[in-house]
Amino acid sequence: MTESVRERMIDGAVRLLARQGLQGTSFAEVLQATGTPRGSIYHHFPGGKDQLVAAAVDAAGENTLHELAGLTGARPDVVTEHFLGRWRELLVQSDTTAGCAVLAVTVATRSDEMLARAADVFRSWRGRLAELLAEGGHPAPEAFAATLVAAGEGAVVLSRAERSLEPFEAVAAFLLAEARDATGPRR
């Protein structure tokens, strides 16, 4: 099945938000990055840029949840590695120039509606991670899920600022050790 024009525009917006932030992402850049016709803008997003950004935030949230599928019953260190691996891959593929589209919107928006949407995404990640961690036997799944999201996001920011994977890898190693220690020796 081919991707629709609307889906291409949303995916393009996610990529641009991750690299350029909210202010650096315009309709013109989304059109250029996705090769979609100018008439597509208000046909698919009559509410303007806010509607496109909201759809991109939702898509970024769903993409991460989709990446967590299939981890039911996995050990906490496997869940942790999988979640962090997604961000590592983004940093490597972008040569540390891209981060989280949801975080980019969170730090730049003045819209209470957009902040609420971003908060919903972060809550959904924390909730799903907590479920997986609990299933895997972590003794404090909610706290570790929040730590995993916050530390992972912070590690991405540090790596982007320093243009180096080193801060991310240091945080990832610490979180993996914590996940392993929380559940005892490997079975």
For residue 167, what is the enclosing H or E element?
helix 166-183
Find out whether 186 and 81 touch, Cβ atoms under 8 Å.
no
Give the tens place of pLDDT for each residue, 42-92: 889 999 899 999 999 999 999 999 999 999 999 999 999 999 999 999 999
pTM attached to this predicted model: 0.93
Strands annotated E in the chain: none
* Maximum pairwise Cα distance, the chain: 58
Residue-range domains of the chain with CATH: 5-183 (1.10.357.10)
Return the residue matching tokens 């997986």: 132
